[in-house]
Amino acid sequence: MLSFILRRLGTMALTMLCLTMIVFFLINLEPNLKKLAISQTEMHTSAEQLESWLVNHGYRQNFFARYGQWLGVVPKQPITDPATGKVSQRFSFCNDPVEPTFSGILQGDFGCSTKFKTTVASKLFPALGATGILMFCVLVVMVPVSLLIGILAGMREGSRTDRTLSVASIASTATPEYVSGVIFTVIFASWLGILNGSAASASQGITFYNFTLPVMTLAIYGIGYIARMTRASMVEVMTQQYIRTARLKGLSFGSVVVKHALRNALIAPFTVIMLQFPWLLTGVVIVEVMFRYQGFGYTLVEAAGNNDIDLLLGCSLVSVFIVLITQLISDVGYAFLNPRIRVQ
C-alpha cells in the first residue's frame, strides 16, 4: 500500500506540473495580457505605453522563464529603469523583492493579485476557508440523507417506497444549481420570508437564516445522485447468495441489512462521495455568485473577470490539487472497504 501511495504521489506531481503549464500558457495569451495592462493603466493608454507596462512588469519574458519563476525554480527579477538603472519592486503592494531571488509556489509565494492589490495567498486562503465551511455543511446534509434514501429504496426493490424515493432522486439530480437556487429563493426568501436570499452576511457570522439557502441549493443535486448510486448498489447486494443464506438461518431482515448488506453496499457510494469534492468546487462558483458568498467560487469569478493572472493560477492550482488528492483517497478507501481488492 505504501509503495502504491508513493507511486500515485509521483504521478500526481507530474500531472500537476503538466496541467499547471497548460493553464499558465492559456492564461498568459496575448488578449489576456492586453486586458490586464489596460485594467492596470487607463482605457485610452497608447499601445506603446501598454507594451511598456507589460515589459516593465515582466510579462514579456520568455514563457519558460516566467513559468519557472512562478514555480520558484527560476529567480524573480525586479524592475530596472532602462534610463536611470534604478531597481524597483515589480508590484509594491506585494512587497516584491528588489533583488533577484527564488520566490514562487515551492517557496509558498503564490504571486500578486492585481485586482485586490494584495498577495494571492492573503486573498485565496481565506476564500478557501469560507468555501470549506460551506462544503462541510453541504456534506453534513448531503451524505447522510442520500445514503438513507438510497438504502431505504434499495432494501425492497419495486416497493412503493422505492418508486417514490427513486422519482424524487431523479428529479433532484435533473435540477441544476442555478434552477434550484432560484426556486428556493423565490419560495423561502420572497414568498415565505423565513430565509435570507443573500449569504453575504455569513462572512461575519453563520446562521440558519443566512446560510440555509446556499447549503440546500448545493446539497439537493448531490443527494439525488448519491441516493441513486446507493440504491443500485443496495439492490445488487440484496440479491447475493450470502444474503439469502443469512435469511434462511433465521436472521431478521434488519440484522441482515445492517450486518451483512450495508458495508458491501457502501463501496460504490464511497467513491461517488469522494468525487463530490471536485464537483462542489465547480458548484460553488454558481452558488456563491448567486448568493453573494465571498468564497473560492466568488474569488475565481472576480479573478477571471479582471484578468488577475496570479490569482487565476492560484485557483487553478488548488482545483487540480483537490481533484487529484480526492481520487487518491477514493482509491485507498475503496481498497480498505473491499478486501477483494489487491493493490498491485
Residue 50 domain-assigned (yes or no): yes
Is 283:177 a contact under the CB 8 Å cutoff? yes
| Domain hosting residue 140, numbered range | 121-337
The answer to whether residues 108 and 137 belong to one domain is no
Comparing CA positions, the residue from 110, 74, 66, 16 lying closest to residue 303 is 110
The answer to whether residues 160 and 185 belong to one domain is yes
Residue 150 domain-assigned (yes or no): yes
pTM: 0.81
pLDDT in tens, the chain (344 residues): 677 778 878 888 898 889 889 989 988 888 888 888 888 777 677 888 888 888 877 888 888 988 998 998 888 877 776 666 677 777 777 777 777 788 889 888 888 888 888 889 889 999 888 888 888 899 899 988 988 888 888 877 888 888 888 888 888 888 888 888 889 888 988 888 888 878 877 777 788 888 888 898 888 888 888 888 888 888 888 777 877 787 777 777 777 777 777 777 777 787 778 777 777 776 788 888 888 888 888 888 888 888 888 899 999 898 888 888 888 887 777 667 666 655 44
**Dihedral pair phi/psi, residue 112, rounded to 5°:** -120, 140
The answer to whether residues 78 and 103 belong to one domain is yes
Q: Could you tell me how far CA 190 lies from the centroid of its own chain? A: 30
Is 315:110 a contact under the CB 8 Å cutoff? no
Residue 342 domain-assigned (yes or no): no
The answer to whether residues 180 and 69 belong to one domain is no
The answer to whether residues 104 and 201 belong to one domain is no
The answer to whether residues 99 and 134 belong to one domain is no
Instruction: Choose the final residue of a domain: 85, 115, 145.
Output: 115
Residue 325 domain-assigned (yes or no): yes
Structure confidence at residue 48 (pLDDT): 83
The answer to whether residues 188 and 300 belong to one domain is yes
Residue 344 domain-assigned (yes or no): no
Tell me which residue has cell 511598456. Answer: 52
Residue 290 domain-assigned (yes or no): yes
Residue 186 domain-assigned (yes or no): yes
The answer to whether residues 125 and 110 belong to one domain is no
The answer to whether residues 74 and 212 belong to one domain is no
Say how many domains are in the chain: 2
CATH of the domain at 131: 1.10.3720.10
The answer to whether residues 34 and 89 belong to one domain is yes
Structure confidence at residue 341 (pLDDT): 57
Residue 343 domain-assigned (yes or no): no
Contacts of 259 (CB under 8 A, 6+ apart): 251
Comparing CA positions, the residue from 67, 63, 57 lying closest to residue 37 is 57
The answer to whether residues 87 and 153 belong to one domain is no
The answer to whether residues 125 and 111 belong to one domain is no
Instruction: Choose the final residue of a domain: 66, 94, 115.
Output: 115
Instruction: Choose the final residue of a domain: 115, 146, 163.
Output: 115
- Between CA 302 and CA 212, with CA 280 as vertex, the angle to 5 degrees is 90
